[in-house]
Chain A
Amino acid sequence: MDTTAQQDFRRDQAEPARRRRSLRATLALCLAGLQFVAVLSVTLSTFVSSENALLRQSRISLNEVSVNVIGQVKNFLNPARQVLDATRRLAENDVLDINDIAALESHFFQQLQVAPQLAGIYLADDTGRFVYVMRTEEPGRYRTKVIPPFAPEITEHPADFQWRNDRFTLLDTAETQTDTYEARTRPWFRLVDAAKAPIWTQPYIFYTTRQPGITYGVPVLDDAGEIRAILGVDIQIDALSGFLLDIWSEQRGAALVLNEDGSVLAHPTLVLIEKDADFNNPELPMVDKIDDPLAQQAFGALAQIGKTKVEGPVHSDFEVDGQDYVAMLIEVTEPGLRWLIGLYAAEDNFIGEIKKNRVQGIWIALSIAILTGAIGLALADRIYAPVRTFASQTQRLSSGEITAQEGLHSPYRELEDTGAALTQEVRQRQRFETAYGRTFDLASRGMAQISPETGRFQRVNEQLCDIMGYQPGELEKMTLADILPDDGQQIAVKFRETLLQDSEFIAENQFNRKDRSSTWLRVNAILIRDENGVPDHAVAIVDDVSEQKQAEAEASRLNRDLSHVARVNLMGEMASGLAHELNQPLSAISYNVDAAKITLEEIGNPEPELTEILSDIDRQSRRAGDIIRALREVVRKDRGRQTPFELGGLIGQTVSLMESEAKVHNIRLVYNEATQPPVIGNRTQIAQVLVNLLRNAIDALARDSDEIGQITITTQVAEGHIEVQVKDNGPGVSADVTLFNTFDTQKSDGMGLGLSICRTIVKANGGRIWHDPTEAIGACFCFTLRRSDQAENNT
């Protein structure tokens, strides 16, 4: 096999695998899969785009919250400012006498009741005087502290305390001499004194309540612009924290109040300033240090960057423990105050519901996708059903379960058309198969389908069974090797190899018949491949060539015998011829010597030496004769057994033996075999005669090449014998040749023994041989052979 063919073979085998995708699967994949993918992609894109929208929405919500927070913070701080500013204006315009303690107390009391977030209001001046109204820890209970002026150096001085309820009813009074409060050293006093303008203090620990807080301070100026007194209002930070706590009821969110430097002023839940912190200058924790990981995460960066001015709201988002958070930082400005409000919250706080809806949406979409996918599958199946029916019908048609007459039908027009074409094809194929089957079964020669790999007979016809002597059923269970003799097994191997190389297998060999007799078969086989190029079966044509083989064997035996006989005859004839030719003169010598001796005696008184010489001559001639006789005895062989045989068959074999020789010279050998009685003689010797006569004729014709040569052999049955005629259309026999004489020849290279041998043989076999000179054209030699069924009368 050449390489191209091998490649073709492989490609052919690979082909079906590539084509094996089912229409059903394709349809299902297209209908269901496409639907699924479409639904899913719409959902996912919604999901992705909503993600951004949601984030935006969160920030907007946070912004709204921040606005609220800022408002609240401002509302928280504003009353302090408004209260104090109003009080200052009253004092500066002398509506309120700042030296009237009772008026001040009353005024402060009223203010505290208006603004619940205020812890206390007070007035101080540089004499050390201090009037202070504050809420107590007990709700609805207020305390007033009045310190009269005292010298700054004095650490302990007297002070009066009064407790009232929210209806200003005096509940209790107290006084002390050892008060240590010095207003002039407090931060707010110093700041206002220095600035001569309203200020906000940094958070610090309130003296009285020991709570952290901030103070708003304003100066009360006289007409000259000098400070007469300083007013202050305290806001406790925990009140701010409480407010911040109110913003979100949910856990995952907080609002912080921060300083610009990142320190935390207020936190909804955390205690920021311990009560035992530095009294005047407590340290605020930085935002990245507080015990709130979410705040650290959201605003830690602020602590890092320090006092960088935050402009406008700054948004950020982050994720902690799988939860998304949004955060923002926005500034709150009050005169003399700049805070940052930090807000963070879990996204779910704003969009939890939406997210939930979204997940729900995906699940719904998924369900729809699966549902539609299933519907798609069902639909695909429904669309495919007629195709499947068609396919199974096609298979049944090709396997012969249904006939081509029933045809293939389908609701689809395309399939119906295809079915019609296919049915047509099948009908055609069935016609061919029927024809093939009939040819196979009725062939006059043995035929078989054989597996090329195993050599098994798949199908055999009657003729092959007749040849082999088996029943079809028996033979179809056997392989080629089973019917080959032990020494012929290589034929089975050669059969497989030759066919698989796509060559024609031709072999002649002996095969075993069922009765163990052997027969010569000629097997011709070719390989049939299926449509994929895979070897399917071999078709073998088997001929019984036993008779032909036997004829060949006989012919070759005859040929062998002939050459032996020819040699023997040639030698014998030569010796015989020589003997005859030499015997004559030797005899003559002998007789002449005898006559000479007698003559010598007649003369009388013969010379004794002469007599002796003559005697010697006589002896020597006899000796020569003896030698020749001995030679002839040695060469003379048994003329061979004479048996009855079929002359026609022998002539036929001889003709075929000489056919090639004749063909070389363009000579036609004509013999019409006819049934005739058997003759008796030595078969091989008679063949020799025929060969000699034919060869003479061929030689004669070859010398005379003008004519188209023809040699005709005819036989004629007569009483007691059969006459054989060998006639040619050559130049004939020239007059000066004596036929049948040893050493007399017309050929340039012949010895003249052929015809003489023929004569010897024919005579020895009881026949006659002669040349018939009556023929006008060419030469005609005839000889007779005795019939074995009828003795010749005249012998």
Chain B
Amino acid sequence: MTPEPLTVFIVDDDDDVRVALSRSLSKRGMRVEHFAAALAFLEQVGEDAIGCLILDYGMPVMDGLDLQDYLVRHDSTLPIIFISGHGGIPESVRATKAGAIDFLEKPFDLTVLIERIDAAMHVGEQLRNEKSRRQKLADKRGLLTEREEQVLQYILTHPARTSSKEIAAQLGISPRTVEIHRGRIQQKVGVKTTIELFELFAHP
């Protein structure tokens, strides 16, 4: 259990289920916020929320999949556990493909849900870390000049031909200038070798 409890967000249009579930989870010491509709969640919390989302699949106006879709498109790190009154296999496949932790059919065992919540919290942390790392890299890359970016781009796209001579011939500049650019790039990004540069940017 993390020192500062993360919030569990519940979105379900069925009041009884929502209230009972939030009550039960709260009793176990979790911080719970619940919403009757997807739009209400987006308005009050938004895609940047930290924690995990227990999302009902079947809802009017904007259903669970729609909300998941929205969150994915907005690069949210919030992990989602789908719960459904009549979840079918196609829906569950679609949901998990889009990154859902699980797709639980009501009525589900609370212990299973709690396990999934723990897993989701963990996944959420990883996602957040990864996101912040990528953010930092992007920030660093943002410091590069236009020419430096060109050189970096060529290095990343042509890993077999990374000699300054080849790059210079390609970009129509002198190898010496390339050498200078490479030094500045490594300095700005904070790496010492081209290998490290690859590791940093090739798999963001």
Chain A residues in contact with chain B, CB under 8 A? 576-577, 579-581, 583-592, 594-595, 598-599, 602, 621-622, 625, 629, 632, 738, 741, 763-764
Contact = CB atoms under 8 A, between A and B. Distances in A.
Contacts of B108: 587
A591 B86 contact: no
Interface residues of B, number: 23
B19 interface: yes
Given A583-B106, A583-B107, A584-B85, A591 B14 contact: no
Contacts of A625: 106-107
Given A584-B17, A588-B20, A589-B20, A621 B27 contact: no
Contacts of A580: 58, 85-86
A591 B85 contact: no
A592 B105 contact: no
Contacts of A588: 14, 16-17, 19-21
Contacts of B21: 587-588, 591
Contacts of B90: 763-764
Contacts of B109: 622
Interface string B59-92: 0100000000000000000000000011010100
Contact of B14 (A584, A629, A763, A764): A584
Contacts of A583: 85-86, 105-107
| Residue among B19, B28, B106, B109 having the largest count of chain A Cβ atoms under 10 Å | B106
A581 B108 CA distance: 15
Contact of B110 (A576, A591, A629, A738): A591
Contacts of B19: 588
A594 B21 CA distance: 9
A621 B60 CA distance: 26
Contacts of B23: 591-592, 595
A629 B60 CA distance: 23
Given A585-B16, A764-B88, 4 more contacts: A580-B85, A587-B21, A590-B20, A595-B26
Contacts of B163: none
9 contacts: A579-B85, A583-B106, A586-B106, A588-B14, A591-B20, A591-B23, A592-B20, A592-B23, A738-B60
Nearest to B23: A595
B24 A586 contact: no
B20 A595 contact: yes
B74 to A, nearest CB: 16
A542 B52 CA distance: 75
Contacts, number: 73
A695 B74 CA distance: 41
Contacts of A576: 86
Interface in B91-146: 105-110
Contacts of A599: 27
A629 B105 contact: yes
A594 B20 CA distance: 9
Contacts of A622: 107, 109
B38 to A, nearest CB: 16
A599 B26 CA distance: 10
A558 to B, nearest CB: 25
B79 to A, nearest CB: 21
Given A579-B85, A580-B58, A587 B24 contact: no
A594 B60 contact: no
A602 B105 CA distance: 29
Interface in B172-195: none
Nearest to A598: B27
B107 A587 contact: yes
B143 to A, nearest CB: 36
Interface in B1-32: 14, 16-17, 19-21, 23-24, 26-28
Nearest to B113: A591
A587 B106 contact: yes
A764 to B, nearest CB: 7
Contacts of B86: 576-577, 579-580, 583, 632
A622 B26 CA distance: 21
A592 B24 contact: yes
Nearest to B90: A764
Nearest to A580: B85
A621 B107 contact: yes
A543 B86 CA distance: 54
B103 to A, nearest CB: 14
Contacts of B58: 580
B110 to A, nearest CB: 5
A598 B24 contact: yes
| Residue among B14, B17, B86 having the largest count of chain A Cβ atoms under 10 Å | B86
Nearest to B22: A591
A446 to B, nearest CB: 52
Nearest to A575: B86
